[in-house]
Amino acid sequence: MDHHAEPVVELEDAVVVLGSFPALAGVDLVVARGEILLLRGPNGAGKTTLLRLCAGLLPLARGRGHVAGCDLTTQRDAVRARVGLLGHANGLYADLTVAENVRFWGATVGATPGEVDAALDRMDLSRRLATVPVNRLSAGQRRRTALACLVARRAQLWLLDEPHAGLDAAGRDELDATLRAAVGSGATVIVASHELERAGSLATRVVDVVGGQALALRGEGG
């Protein structure tokens, strides 16, 4: 990790309360541009909550946070426009083709046809698969399509929740290569995963998310 690189995520004593349950209890975290950060921890530790906070989907109950230079309390819409969250779902329209999905998501930020084509190219989707409806794709191909949508949306920060789930070996290799390429072209990636061996080899830094309500983070070089 380049500690002098511009921070994309800065959280200071971040607290998120879901109902009456403190899902995040005072998180401090800095993620620099170009990192692939792995969040690891047991179920219920708060990994997904942390991703959703960084996506601007959950309000801060206490503390401060900035994502891509925008305040998590006062500029949540601006945060959302700069991040891409890929959870267990892909956010795709099954009846539309791969190209139509990527074009639609690109259009939400005014992407040009050239940018859409570039996103399809980058995910190796521009030839045979572009005209195939999403409901005929394999799980890996759907994931790749979803990532192409993030590229077309010009997302600066990719937040991926269990991205390897449901993929076969080839799909996982493909995903890892895609994420490395994304980072090579300026994106920052945060991955929450149980697949520590796979995600750990991909990550430039690993952070532990510990303990249901109370959440502690520990950084270690990767």
Partner 1 sequence: MSTWRTALLIAMKDLRVEARSRIVLVQVLPFAGLVMVLFAFALDSDTVLERVSPGLIWMATVFSLLIVVQRSFGVETADGALDALRVAGVRASGIFVGKAIALAAQLLALEVLLTVLAVVLYRAELDADGLVLFVTTVLVATCGLAFVGTLYGGLAAGAKGRETLLPLLLFPVVAPVLIGATRATEAALGASGAATSEGWPWVALLVVFAALFGAGGTLAFGSLIEE
Q: Give the residue among 51, 36, 83, 84 at the shortest CA–CA distance from 180.
A: 36
Residue 55 as a binder of partner 1 (CB under 8 A): the answer is: yes
Residue 20 CB, nearest distance to partner 1 (Å)?
15
Q: Which stretch binds partner 1 (CB under 8 A): 60-68, 72-80, 162-170, 186-194?
A: 72-80
Fill in the DSSP letter of residue 31: E
Residue 46 CB burial class (10 angstroms; 0-12, 13-18, ≥19): buried
Are the beta carbons of 6 and 175 closer than 8 angstroms?
no
Site size with partner 1, rule: CB under 8 A: 31
Residue 100 as a binder of partner 1 (CB under 8 A): the answer is: yes
Residue 163-202 contact track with partner 1, rule CB under 8 A, x = bound? ----------------------------------------
Place of tokens 């759907």: 142
| Structure tokens given for 188 | 């920052």
| List of residues contacting partner 1 (CB under 8 A) | 55-58, 77-81, 83-85, 87-96, 100, 104-105, 107-110, 133, 153
